[in-house]
A and B are shown apart, each in its own frame.
Chain A
Amino acid sequence: MNAAVLKVNRFAALMPVTLIALLTTSIPIILAQGDMLREVESIMKDLEYLHSRGVDVGPVVDLLNKAVSEYSNGSFEKAYGYIEEARRRVESLKMEAESTYIKIMVVKAVTVASLASIPLLTYFMLPRLYLYLWFKLHRKWIVG
């Protein structure tokens, strides 16, 4: 009887300790999980910016997708690793985003200018080209 009471008392005495231990170990995990999702959300904003600048974000999208998938399966460490890698790549892509955008804009401007010059070239060059070809084809003709 005394032993049983002692056991119950011990259990009761250990309860707060157990609860505190559980809380201190689980709260950081819960916070880390919340942070992880917030991190994905923050990277998504960067991805949208990079995509709008014409940067290829395919590899980062794959990494984030893997991270979310691992997170859903409960593999938080793996998920965190993928997120870290995605964050690193996003930071390096951000540095070249503006130069990529300028390159795309320059190529676009040159293409548009070339296309716009087609009617002008047709107006000025077509008669000359026709005349040149005509003379080339009829150079052996003799005017009687």
Chain B
Amino acid sequence: MDCWVIGLIIDEEVFAVMLAISVVASTVGIAVVLRPETVEPFTAIGLLNEDCRIGDYPTAASNNSFLNLCIFVLNHMGKPVYYRVIYKIGDRETIPTNTTPSLREPVLTWMGVLGDKQNTTKPIEIPVYTLEPLPSTVALIFELWLYDTELAQWIYTGRWVHLYMNITPLLP
């Protein structure tokens, strides 16, 4: 149909606006269909109290005692992951960074497999102790590691959580 015919039927400006709307809608639709499922892959680790809720964390424990906490792990990597949470007991000088894990030796390890966009919350029981003179403050460190299938080795994700704990000889 020629332009002048279109002009007779629908106002040309109205037709141009409708055409523009259809072009924008089409472009947005195609972009939504073709966009990658996971734009920015990430993982997360969280520390929860013994009821598996945020807050009300213990602040003190007696030396050589056990604490009940929960660990939360989220996978948003756009693929299934084989993860490992490593528990270490450190201090203010041995906290991990975004690039390097804590230099302290692992005390406990929890492993699992998560699908894409899946998360898990695990109740855990951890030993708390120090060899320093009491009372002393320690950092309970939880690091998240992922297994890299290309490199065939465990890689530190740069994600960690820590909780400072006052270690006393005996709690009242």
Contact = CB atoms under 8 A, between A and B. Distances in A.
Instruction: Tell whether A pairs with B.
Output: yes
A68 B6 contact: no
Contacts of B6: 127
A74 to B, nearest CB: 13
Interface stretch (B22-30, B45-53, B92-100, B127-135): B22-30
Contacts of A65: 112-114
Nearest to A68: B111
B19 interface: yes
B118 A61 contact: yes
Given A41-B149, A134-B9, A112 B30 contact: yes
Contacts of B41: none
A119 interface: yes
A123 to B, nearest CB: 6
Interface residues of A, number: 34
B58 interface: no
A7 interface: no
B115 A58 contact: yes
Contact of A118 (B15, B26, B82, B114): B26
The secondary structure that dominates the A interface is helix
B5 interface: yes
Interface centre among B1, B26, B112, B147 (most CB of A within 10 A): B26
B113 A122 contact: no
Contacts of A72: 110-111
A9 interface: no
Among all A-B residue pairs, the 9 with the closest Cβ atoms? A122-B22, A115-B29, A45-B149, A64-B113, A61-B115, A118-B26, A65-B113, A119-B23, A119-B22
Given A71-B111, A121-B22, A124-B1, 13 more contacts: A40-B113, A44-B80, A44-B147, A48-B79, A51-B79, A57-B115, A61-B114, A61-B115, A64-B113, A68-B111, A72-B111, A112-B34, A123-B19
Interface of A: 40-41, 44-45, 47-48, 51-52, 57-58, 61, 64-65, 68-69, 71-72, 108, 111-112, 115-116, 118-119, 121-124, 126-128, 130-131, 134
Interface of B: 1, 5-6, 9-10, 15, 18-19, 22-23, 25-26, 29-30, 33-34, 79-82, 110-116, 118, 147, 149, 152
